[in-house]
Amino acid sequence: MTLIIGPNARTRAKGFTLLELVMVLVLVSTVLAMAAPSLRGFVRGRQIAEAAAQVLSLTHLARSQAASQGYVYRLNIDAEAKTYWLTMQRAGTFVELDYEHGRRFRLPEEVSVTLEFPVTNAPTTYIQFYPDGRSDQVTIKLAGQGKKVFEVTCLSATERFCVISPSEAAGP
């Protein structure tokens, strides 16, 4: 009988050496360092898109609540404070809603907001939604750093609001 002392091909532990692990970490760190600036721009672009989606959902909620409850609703926008919120008309005055969707929502810091009313030139800071399903015809422009502008728009008083992204606005 022969006694084998020391590692052989069958019993030797398999794995990576410390040098191999360090080299992989250096390579991954280098790739992430090169990609970080473009990832930062991606995150900013997503913040504008998410803000546009949130404004869009509030317009849909305001339209449906106005029609189902029979009250006039407003989507109020304070461009300087970068906030927006819903109110409803009760007894001739507009009051803030007493549930989650009545709270004030805040836009990301680098996003600016403007309202464009194609029908009237009167500057207002709100959009009204009526019990008969109509709403003010308006375009809400959300602009970020660079040239990214998302539009939440209503093309006619009877249509629903929709989001137009920068790529859709540029056209083919």
Domain membership of residue 7 (yes or no) is: no
What is the pLDDT, as a whole number, of residue 12?
A: 59
**CATH number of the domain enclosing 72:** 3.55.40.10
What is the pLDDT, as a whole number, of residue 42?
A: 60
Domain membership of residue 1 (yes or no) is: no
pTM: 0.72
What is the pLDDT, as a whole number, of residue 169?
A: 61
> Six-digit token pair at 21?
């692990």
For the cut 70, the answer to whether the pLDDT of residue 84 exceeds it is yes
Domain membership of residue 6 (yes or no) is: no
Q: Is the distance from CB of 164 to CB of 155 less than 8 angstroms?
A: no
For the cut 80, the answer to whether the pLDDT of residue 69 exceeds it is yes
The amino acid sitting at 128 is Q
- Residues 140, 109, 168, 153: what is their CA dihedral angle, to the nearest 10 degrees? -10
Domain membership of residue 62 (yes or no) is: yes
Dist. CA 145–CA 40, nearest whole Å: 12
For the cut 70, the answer to whether the pLDDT of residue 10 exceeds it is no
Domain membership of residue 23 (yes or no) is: yes
Mean pLDDT of the region 125-141: 93
Distance from chain centroid for Cα 159: 22
For the cut 60, the answer to whether the pLDDT of residue 83 exceeds it is yes
Domain membership of residue 26 (yes or no) is: yes
- The more confident residue out of 53 and 38 is 53
For the cut 70, the answer to whether the pLDDT of residue 88 exceeds it is yes
Domain membership of residue 10 (yes or no) is: no
Mean pLDDT of the region 128-156: 89
> Six-digit token pair at 1?
């009988």
Q: Total structural domains in the chain?
A: 1
Domain membership of residue 97 (yes or no) is: yes
For the cut 60, the answer to whether the pLDDT of residue 58 exceeds it is yes
Structural domain that includes position 72: 19-170
